[in-house]
Copies of this chain bind each other. A is one copy, B any other.
Amino acid sequence: MPFTYEYERPSLTVDCVVFGLDETDLKVILIERGVPPFQGKWALPGGFVKPSEPLEEAARRELQEETGIEQAFLEQLFTFGDKDRDPRGWTVTVAYYALVKLSDHRIQATTDASDAKWFPVAAIPALAFDHEKIFRVALERLRGKVRYQPIGFELLPEKFTLTQLQKLYETILRQDLDKRNFRKKILSMGLLLDTNETQQDVAHRAARLYRFDRHRYEELRQKGFNFEV
């Protein structure tokens, strides 16, 4: 037992709320715990921060180790330190939320890490620790932020149709949007690059594929432009 301190210190963990989007649902990835406490229960991916490890790096590492996810938009969410959140004692967790392109990660997450599974946000099981609370805070943050920051694109493939984008907002915000007005607004921002490609293998008229222009967004943002859906 080599680590001795004059004052009591907390354990430090990171936890990640990873969102993905498929054709019908907004989903979150959960891990079935193999060890106590809460053995057999579902939990957010996460774990202990290594000594002097940057927090975001720890979050990325745990994500990789537990779900196989390597590329993700990741942002700090909130730090939870309440007394009884971990039965093992004083444990503080820095929570992150992540947005991934489900099209890329769907397979990995259910094969490499066989105990990881995607759940629709409307059907989350009982979770270990205070992870339900963390999940709720993350969902609230996502719903609030997606409106006025262009983070929704992180949930779509590189190339996407306007209908996919519209459905994304409809799913996350739980409200229908008018197709014509949505297209007008989005296109008028000048943030989408037309790839001049179209969908393949669809049983109807193929839609144009667009790409989000990050570089242009940065330019506009610096000039005071505010993204808003």
Q: Mark A68-90, 1 if CB is under 8 A from B, else 0.
A: 00000000101101110000001
Residues of chain B within 8 A (CB-CB) of A51 are: 7-8, 10, 90
Contact A5 B12 (CB under 8 A): no
Among the listed B1, B81, B83, which residue makes an inter-chain contact with A6, where contact means beta carbons less than 8 Å apart?
A: B1
What is the bound-complex CA distance between A134 and B49, given in angstroms? 21
Among the listed B1, B4, B55, B92, which residue makes an inter-chain contact with A12, where contact means beta carbons less than 8 Å apart?
A: B92
What is the bound-complex CA distance between A148 and B7, given in angstroms? 42
Question: Does any Cβ of B come within 8 Å of A181's Cβ?
Answer: no
Residues of chain B within 8 A (CB-CB) of A55 are: 79, 81, 92
What is the bound-complex CA distance between A6 and B76, given in angstroms? 28
Residues of chain B within 8 A (CB-CB) of A81 are: 12, 49, 54-55, 94
Among the listed B1, B54, B82, which residue makes an inter-chain contact with A83, where contact means beta carbons less than 8 Å apart?
A: B54
How many A residues touch B, CB cutoff 8 Å?
Answer: 27
Residues of chain B within 8 A (CB-CB) of A6 are: 1, 3
What is the bound-complex CA distance between A55 and B94, given in angstroms? 12
What is the bound-complex CA distance between A79 and B5, given in angstroms? 22
Question: Does any Cβ of B come within 8 Å of A114's Cβ?
Answer: no
Given A55-B81, A79-B55: A3 and B8 within 8 A (CB)?
yes
Residues of chain B within 8 A (CB-CB) of A54 are: 81-83
Residues of chain B within 8 A (CB-CB) of A48 are: 7
Question: Does any Cβ of B come within 8 Å of A9's Cβ?
Answer: yes
What is the bound-complex CA distance between A12 and B5, given in angstroms? 13
Residues of chain B within 8 A (CB-CB) of A3 are: 4-9
Question: Does any Cβ of B come within 8 Å of A52's Cβ?
Answer: yes
Taking Cβ atoms with an 8 Å cutoff, the residues of A that contact B are 1, 3-12, 48-49, 51-52, 54-55, 76, 78-79, 81-83, 90, 92, 94, 148
Given contact pairs A3-B7, A7-B48, A10-B49, a sample of 4 additional A-B residue pairs in the complex whose CB atoms are under 8 Å apart: A1-B5, A3-B5, A52-B90, A76-B79
